[in-house]
Structure 1
Amino acid sequence: MRTAYSVETVRTAERRLMARLPEGALMQRAAAGLAASCADLLGRVYGSRVVLLVGSGDNGGDALYAGARLARRGAGVTAVPLSPERTHPGGLAALLRAGGRTALGPAEELIERADLVVDGIVGIGGKGGLRPEAARLAEAAERSRAAVVAVDLPSGVDPDTGQVRGPAIRADLTVTFGTHKPGLLIDPARDHAGTVRLIDIGLELPEEPDVEALQHADVARLLPLPGPESDKYRRGVVGVAAGSARYPGAAVLAVAGALHGGAGAVRYVGPAGDAVLARYPETLVSDRGPAKAGRVQAWVVGPGAGDDAATVAEVLEADVPILIDADGLRLAERETVRARTAPTLMTPHAGEAAALLGVSREEVESARLTSARELASRYRATVLLKGSTTLVTDARGPARANATGTSWLATAGSGDVLSGLAGSLLAAGLAPLDAGSVAAYLHGLAGRYASDGAPVGAQDVARAIVRAWRDVRD
């Protein structure tokens, strides 16, 4: 599992470690890892042209000391100090001793000719976008053919929230120290980070992070596995209340996700029963409403429901975990959701989250973590905020970020499949945070496998869940 910690936590851990180490030792550890990462990216260090964009803080010092190491290996290293009077003195002296130099001509021309640009402008203390001079250099780096390496995180992004409030560096590689920062796992900042390489510098961190990202082994431990005595009820029965005369396909796709999600059986309630049975005859179909559909361990409600507020309200009364998606999010009364004693998982995209919060979609997309936590707090629910990085949070412990998907998943019906899959995992006994996280992970992998770089439909994604499941288990 990848874990990320806030700036405050990281700085506390750094102070404790520096108190036990010789002066400058921590910066040398960081610089050594940074220089090695730059060398790996360059392939051949000798004769390469490296430009360091150097800010006034320790981030700039890391870049200078790493540049000195590259210069000793034969690279031509030039530093571009943004505040020459406040440049890290020890780092600058080390670079000059190693044969590096400071910029004499226009920095844009140096960047244009460079093989590698190292972003040491702003460290974890940065909050807003870059200032005009730094923004100009960031634009030059993006236009150039040079590979761009960010020191700790791309300058101009918010390390705690992933927000990007103005111009920011776009890196090919980010070399981060001690731990991931939340912004490296959350869009839009994640998109600026490129590949992320973590360098261990010996920080001692708390057990509970601010943000975490599951990996294959974590998901494998959470996947429900039937035992010798399992039957369909022990494996979990999920109810799906979805679809309408106008949107029968939403019901079919939600059932598809549920059937591939590990539940022992799927009960469907709604007006699309004929369409569901035609595609999935193993589904248990009822036309008597959720309360009389039979035994279930969890409900999925809302995909394609149109204006069927009565069915949504009936499902909300059930004393089992429920997942609310799509039209269900619009129809569910907030106070009813807050009053529930059984777990609730809400799965909005940015537009739906914006409507529930009373803000613009742009505000949600620029502050995804803050928005998801606020929504979870308002509804006393677990929230899965869909997007290029899916966030799952219950506003109490660590949020979970998932980036296994592909942009081809932005297709009609994909979210219905995700809802059915997550509902199936709820029925199997997973807690909402785990069910949402595992479903997002598998759904993202399934999208990649089904697409393989080409357009994909929601039914293709549903069929590929089995392959994703096997891949994780193996």
Structure 2
Amino acid sequence: MNLNPFVYSQRLMQKAEMETFKKKDSFRVMQKAAETCFNFITKDFTNKKILVICGPGNNGGDGILIAKYLYDKQKNVSLYAPLGIAKTEDSQKALALLNSSTLIKQNVNFEDYDIIIDSVFGVGLNRPVAEELQSLFRNVNNSPARVIAIDMPSGVRTDTGQVDQVAIKADITLTFHRLKPGHLLLPGKEYAGTIELLDIQLENLDSETRIFLNTPPSIKKINNTDHKYSRGTSYIIAGTQLIGASKLAALAASQSALRSGAGLSKLFIAKENKEAFKPHILEEMMVLYEDQQELFEIIQKTKIMSLIFGCGIDINQSNIKLLKFILDQPINLVLDASVFSLIKQDESSFLNALSKREVITILTPHKGEFERIFKNTNDKIHDCLNAAKKANAIILYKGSDTVIGTPSGEAYLSHLSSPHLATAGSGDVLAGLIGGLLAQEYEGVEAAKLACHIHSQCGIRLGEGLIASDLLMEIPNVLKNLYAVQ
């Protein structure tokens, strides 16, 4: 995938086309699009039997021209138009250039082709897929042919990646100008296959998008004069009730914060639980307290750059009180896991407290946690941004299609992911990474973006069978690679 960081919505892509058509003939642009697709197809696929499935609109016009260029080069190509052919002005011009009605088939057997080119809808789908097309799409998916989608696999919604009933599952998607959200969000990303970004010289409207790829920000360099105190301290509140789960979660977050580059990571631990943690961390990394009132006093007296709360904590009145307290403190917060169940207990009060905060707050819910508090409409970008605005917080909405949303309306989409990250403790490692980066004085969005990238890279590099402790060991290797490319 070409890593242009700007992602265009359907509306912005249409605007880029309209702006381009003020300066260039729209049919010339269609020819350019078809030519770039033709060049890719003929570079990588030779001596193949090819079927181009065309829709009635301009995406179908692209397909007609691709078929023409293939035919002109004596390629074995056929064209199939199940919804009728060439119902727009430019697609009619394309059909006139084709000048070979013998290429157009009334019936086809998909099993007969090596390559099927999907040029039915592109980014223009705005209605449910008709039943006859659903059957056709299933037949394409069940065929042995390699499938190449033009712009967007037909049946996938451009802005959400959603699929109503069925969509064409492409091996390769050739898209124009900029990536679209549907290439990066589930389930659309699973239908897009390998994405190739093709330049057809459309008008640049990058300044108008609020959606971006999550490209990692620069890593702060460590100076020879740095010491553990100058590199920042991350703090974590360990749970008091579920001591087994609390210990594992807090330790994972603590070690992850250190691996991120923080100089120190300290745990607030109830004195009664000291012995459970003692074999695993140095005593100087424990901040012990007798009761909750003492914890409040210690927090207020301590200069805290970064505090992680939620990993392995119990759902009870004591922790509800604790969350209300820390939300009132001028401390950068990473809120994870059980926090969302706590917020649910007194939703309006907690959201009101969040809305008044003037320092960094980062929430890291997975889908189930997100839905406890925020509305899910199956439009992940829209939902994430609404939640970020409502909570006055950066939302890192986890998943294989992680979206990071900001209160000011920017969304960052993760194009790198690994399903193997779905394992116990993985989220605690991510929270620790964010907390460690905040301790090093990264801006909130930069900390969320970089932590997400590091976490994803660890999952990709480790693959099958990984557990949370493996991620901790892999973080330095990912950081070394990031340093090397800066």
Match of 2:113 in 1: 114
Amino acid at match of 1:26: V
C-alpha contact 1:372 1:391 (8 A) present in aligned 2: yes
Matches of 1:290 and 1:142, distance apart in 2: 59
2:390 pairs, out of 375, 378, 384, with: 378
Compute the displacement of 1:234 (Å). 3.0
Amino acid at match of 2:401: T
Quote the RMSD (CA, aligned, Å). 2.0
Match of 2:106 in 1: 104
Instruction: List aligned pairs for 1:449-464, cutoff 5 A.
Output: 449-451=461-463, 454-464=464-474
C-alpha contact 1:120 1:150 (8 A) present in aligned 2: yes
Amino acid at match of 1:66: I
Matches of 2:275 and 2:480, distance apart in 1: 31
1:304 pairs, out of 284, 293, 312, with: 312
**For 1:290-309, what per-residue CA distance to the aligned partner results, in whole angstroms no more than 9, with x for missing partners?**
65153321111101111222
**Of 412-421 and 333-342, the range deviating more from structure 2:** 333-342
What TM-score results when the alignment is normalised by the length of structure 2? 0.89
2:338 pairs, out of 327, 336, 346, with: 327
C-alpha contact 1:232 1:265 (8 A) present in aligned 2: yes
Matches of 1:194 and 1:275, distance apart in 2: 48
- Give the count of matched residue pairs: 456
1:353 pairs, out of 339, 354, 370, with: 370
Matches of 2:396 and 2:364, distance apart in 1: 5
**For 1:422-441, what per-residue CA distance to the aligned partner results, in whole angstroms no more than 9, with x for missing partners?**
11111212222211111111
Match of 1:258 in 2: 257
Amino acid at match of 1:116: I
Compute the displacement of 1:406 (Å). 1.0
Aligned in 2, Cα 1:264/1:208: closer, same or farther, shift over 3 Å?
farther
What is the DSSP-based 3-state SS (H/G/I as helix, E as strand, rest coil) of the residue aligned with 2:252? helix
**For 1:196-218, what per-residue CA distance to the aligned partner results, in whole angstroms no more than 9, with x for missing partners?**
11111112213252321134xx4
2:41 pairs, out of 30, 35, 38, with: 38
Match of 1:318 in 2: 329
1:388 aligns with 2:400: yes
Gaps of 5+ in 1: none
C-alpha contact 1:187 1:368 (8 A) present in aligned 2: no
Amino acid at match of 1:468: V
What is the DSSP-based 3-state SS (H/G/I as helix, E as strand, rest coil) of the residue aligned with 1:26? helix
**Of 181-190 and 14-23, the range deviating more from structure 2:** 14-23
Amino acid at match of 2:28: A
Match of 1:292 in 2: 298
**Of 229-238 and 19-28, the range deviating more from structure 2:** 229-238
Compute the displacement of 1:41 (Å). 3.9
Compute the displacement of 1:277 (Å). 4.3
Match of 1:340 in 2: 357
Amino acid at match of 2:129: L
What is the DSSP-based 3-state SS (H/G/I as helix, E as strand, rest coil) of the residue aligned with 1:124? helix
What TM-score results when the alignment is normalised by the length of structure 1? 0.91
What is the DSSP-based 3-state SS (H/G/I as helix, E as strand, rest coil) of the residue aligned with 1:383? strand
Gaps of 5+ in 2: 290-294, 344-349
Aligned in 2, Cα 1:275/1:406: closer, same or farther, shift over 3 Å?
farther
Amino acid at match of 1:241: I
Amino acid at match of 1:401: L
Match of 2:7 in 1: 4
What is the DSSP-based 3-state SS (H/G/I as helix, E as strand, rest coil) of the residue aligned with 2:314? coil
Query: How high is the sequence identity, in percent, across the aligned residues?
Result: 27
**Of 88-97 and 315-324, the range deviating more from structure 2:** 88-97
C-alpha contact 1:224 1:425 (8 A) present in aligned 2: no
C-alpha contact 2:255 2:265 (8 A) present in aligned 1: no
